[in-house]
Amino acid sequence: MRLTTFSDYTLRTLIYLALRPDRLSTIEDISVAYGISANHLTKVVYQAAQAGDVLTLRGQHGGLRLARAPEDINIGAVLRRTEPDWDVAMCFGSDKACAIQPACVLQSALGEALAAFLAVMDRKTLADMVLPKRQLSALLRFQDQGASA
């Protein structure tokens, strides 16, 4: 299983914003910190704002920040919102039936594995993702010396 780039960038954006709760950030800030496309991030931020996770402020002194506390942003819910589908194999959600589908155990096993993955993500919040705050801030080259562990 592999998450889409959209989900990856959404999680990275939320992590970035959670690490900088006391200041506004820009799409450009996030783009530079991660070395990723600002164009893609624009779409990510728009969708995260529509979902109520990110607050966007326009104008010369505008920017982005989390709209909710990190502990109120559930990672499982974010992934369900950002992934277009959970078809881990062609036989999931496809109109084309596999020749062995009536007796196939693989589809059931993959479905069980997906459910386990989502169950773990449902137990995680954005606050969990930023626990090593000092280390993450250093890796993103933040100048915040007061960041705690």
Q: Which two tokens stand for residue 44?
A: 């990510």
Closest CA to 12 of 96, 111, 40, 84: 40
Q: Residue 94: its pLDDT value, please?
A: 58
Write out the CATH class of domain 5-84+125-139: mainly alpha
Q: Hey, where are the domains in the chain? A: 5-84+125-139
Of residues 95 and 131, which shows the higher confidence score?
131
pTM (2 d.p.): 0.86
d(CA 113, CA 122): 14
- Cα–Cα distance for residue pair 23/51, rounded to 1 Å: 21
- Which of 51, 1, 67, 61 minimizes the C-alpha distance to 26? 61
Per-residue pLDDT, 147? 42
- pLDDT at 9 > cutoff 90: yes
pLDDT digits (tens, 9 = 90+) for 63-89: 999 999 999 999 999 999 999 988 877
Instruction: Provide the pLDDT for residue 142.
Output: 83
